[in-house]
Amino acid sequence: MSSDVNKNEWWRSAVIYQIYPRSFADGNGDGMGDLQGVEANLESLKELGVDAVWFSPFMTSPQKDAGYDVSNYKDIDPLFGTLADFDSVLSKAHSLGIRVIVDLVPNHCSEEHPLFQAAVAAGPGSPEREMFHFRDGKGENGELPPNNWQSVFGGPTWTQVPDGQWYLHIFDSSQPDWNWENPLVKEFFDGVFRFWLDRGVDGFRVDVAHALIKEPGLPDVAETSSSMTGSDEEPNDDQAHPHWGQEGVHDIIRGWRRIIEEYDDRAMAAEAWILPLSKMAKWVRPGEYHQAFNFAYLEGKWDASALHKVVDESLEEFGKVEAPSTWVLSNHDVIRHTTRLSYDQVPKQGDGIGPDYPQPDEALGLRRGRAATAFMLGLPGSSYIYQGEELGLPEHTTLEAKFRQDPTFFRTKGERVGRDGCRVPLPWDADAPAFGFNSTGKAWLPQPENFRSYARNQQRGIPGSTLELYKRLLAVRKDFNLGNGELKWHEDLCDDSTLGYENNGVLVVANFAGQVALPSGELLVTTQHDLSVEGVLEADQVAWIKL
């Protein structure tokens, strides 16, 4: 890392907790989480020890894609509350020393956005249609989509309007893509950025940050794939994709960065499913995003050599552009890592697990999940935690079809069950209605019975619980300033079944199989609460030792 890097920049080392507002806590009892619910429980996040929270979208939305279909970027959806409620959450979070990041969705809006409605009404060739991507269809009467692009959620990326033209949507048909070649779109979003910055937010998580610009002429893709990298195979570094990772995206990012720089201490993170990491690092060059989600890390297996490799590659590639690496294991789009890591092979990202899929080994998943987190939180850089993982919460893998809400489920006629299983309302109290998510017992997705034992009140203050483990990991991480440290592998502890690295005087040892004798030193924290033989680390366990 160059000496120009300012380690005091909070986002370089921050632990950022993702709040999925629909499922965190429900203040008004209607079954849908809300801002009141968040405010009432912010102290528990302070107690956990996170530096910032990132809110998945709470802006006005018909909720066809759980809020990632925005119809008013400058207001709060009544489901979640009001702008006044948001101001109140923001000031309470700040008073607790927690920063607040909001989710911006600039690639597409909702079909109910007034500008899209105006575009549909205005007709072909109008300036209103130029805000989006409208095209005539192929075929004798324009009855075929303009090209062969596939929606991430399944089916074509094109939907026809009554006058015969088609509009582009990389996601659901309810999510028309903005035309970022049009300066009016840029101007519109500059206003959205300023709106939230002026309100006092500390930054943004920017949704599908690698889309936005489409190759002129919208040419067919060579490989039709619904994958976020544009390929079901290993992505080819040299191959340009007509709607993922176009060069023009970077000018847009630099424009936003200039706006953000007018304010103190704000940051933005890219959600860009770009692989390999050498390519993703382009999103965080000086003057662009502050950080980007490390999806190569998220997609890694619980395997010593694979982890060694992805950590090296991350530190190297992000280091080259003076950005911190980030680390992440779970979010609202993927199978929770406590469940995912119990499998050798999992469905493709976003496809989810349903009752017909082989069911997970819950205990194995939890053990590996805790270990994977303990390995991650010792690494230098910034880490993301998804709500509920501090409870060790598993994926809901038996959700019945009738409750499904993810557009993926509907667009693939149930073939891909989708992402609802990681979005289920949190359990707070084992004996309360809806496990304490609210006081009425309503829940927009039903909670499985096994959530009871994971409830926060079953873990708080209980030695060895996952919640206490997370608290301890975060506290030690802070005490030793691990976020700003430097990683050094302990090669004598690195082989096919163990890994050991040092960071700011803390030795992190991970064991993947068999047993390993721990080096001597003060045991700071371990996933293996009931160490049966002192100094021997069992399989799927991690220990942090003070050197």
Catalytic residue numbers, as ranges: 207, 262
Shortest distance in whole angstroms from residue 461 CB to ligand TEU: 34
Q: Is 292 helix (H, G, I), strand (E, B) or coil?
A: strand
Phi, psi (degrees; rounded to nearest 5) at 99: -85, 160
Give the strand pairing for 326-328 and 382-386: parallel
- CB-wise, 299 or 322, nearer to ligand TEU? 299
Interaction residues for ligand TEU, span 423-452 (CB under 6 A): none
Say if residue 544 is exposed, middle or buried (CB neighbours under 10 Å; 0-12, 13-18, 19+).
Answer: buried
Helices and strands in the chain: count of H runs, count of E runs: 14, 20
Q: Is 165 in the site for ligand TEU (CB under 6 A)?
A: no
- CB-wise, 232 or 316, nearer to ligand TEU? 232
Q: Distance between CA 501 and CA 506 in Å, rounded?
A: 8
- CB-wise, 68 or 80, nearer to ligand TEU? 68
- CB-wise, 39 or 65, nearer to ligand TEU? 65
Q: Is 171 in the site for ligand TEU (CB under 6 A)?
A: yes
Shortest distance in whole angstroms from residue 334 CB to ligand TEU: 7
Q: Distance between CA 499 and CA 375 in Å, rounded?
A: 9
**H or E element, residue 60:** strand 59-60
Shortest distance in whole angstroms from residue 40 CB to ligand TEU: 25
Interaction residues for ligand TEU, span 242-281 (CB under 6 A): 271
- CB-wise, 105 or 323, nearer to ligand TEU? 105
Among 25, 89, 93, 228, binds ligand TEU (CB under 6 A): 228
Tell me the residue number closest to ligand TEU, measured at CB. Answer: 350
Enumerate long-range contacts of 530-536, CB under 8 Å, 24 or more apart.
530/464
Q: Is 452 helix (H, G, I), strand (E, B) or coil?
A: helix
Among 324, 350, 354, 369, binds ligand TEU (CB under 6 A): 350
Q: Is 388 in the site for ligand TEU (CB under 6 A)?
A: no
Place of tokens 């026809």: 160
Q: Is 89 in the site for ligand TEU (CB under 6 A)?
A: no
Shortest distance in whole angstroms from residue 207 CB to ligand TEU: 5
Binding mask 93-132 for ligand TEU (x = CB under 6 A): ------------x---------------------------
Q: Distance between CA 356 and CA 499 in Å, rounded?
A: 36
Specify the amino acid at residue 417. Answer: V
Shortest distance in whole angstroms from residue 329 CB to ligand TEU: 14
- CB-wise, 20 or 435, nearer to ligand TEU? 20
Q: Distance between CA 106 and CA 84 in Å, rounded?
A: 24
Enumerate long-range contacts of 521-528, CB under 8 Å, 24 or more apart.
521/545, 521/546, 521/547, 522/546, 524/476, 525/374, 525/469, 525/472, 525/473, 525/476, 526/374, 527/367, 527/370, 527/371, 527/374, 527/469
Interaction residues for ligand TEU, span 316-345 (CB under 6 A): 332-333
- CB-wise, 349 or 405, nearer to ligand TEU? 349
Q: Is 420 in the site for ligand TEU (CB under 6 A)?
A: no
Interaction residues for ligand TEU, span 178-207 (CB under 6 A): 207
How many residues touch ligand TEU under the rule CB under 6 A: the total is: 14
Shortest distance in whole angstroms from residue 180 CB to ligand TEU: 15
Shortest distance in whole angstroms from residue 158 CB to ligand TEU: 17
Q: Name residue 135's beta-bridge partners.
A: 166
Buried b (16+ CB within 10 A) or exposed e, 205-215: bbbbbbbbbbe
Distance (Å) of CA 39 to CA 96, 187, 199, 410, 423: 11, 33, 17, 34, 19
Q: Distance between CA 124 and CA 150 in Å, rounded?
A: 24
142: left (phi over 0), alpha (psi -120 to 50) or beta: left
Among 32, 70, 208, 253, binds ligand TEU (CB under 6 A): 208
Q: What is the DSSP string of 335-353?
A: --HHHHTT-SS-PPTT---
Among 408, 438, 465, 498, binds ligand TEU (CB under 6 A): 408
Q: Is 149 in the site for ligand TEU (CB under 6 A)?
A: no
Q: Is 68 in the site for ligand TEU (CB under 6 A)?
A: yes
- CB-wise, 228 or 455, nearer to ligand TEU? 228
Instruction: Name the site residues for ligand TEU (rule: CB under 6 A).
Output: 65, 68, 105, 152, 171, 207-208, 228, 271, 332-333, 349-350, 408
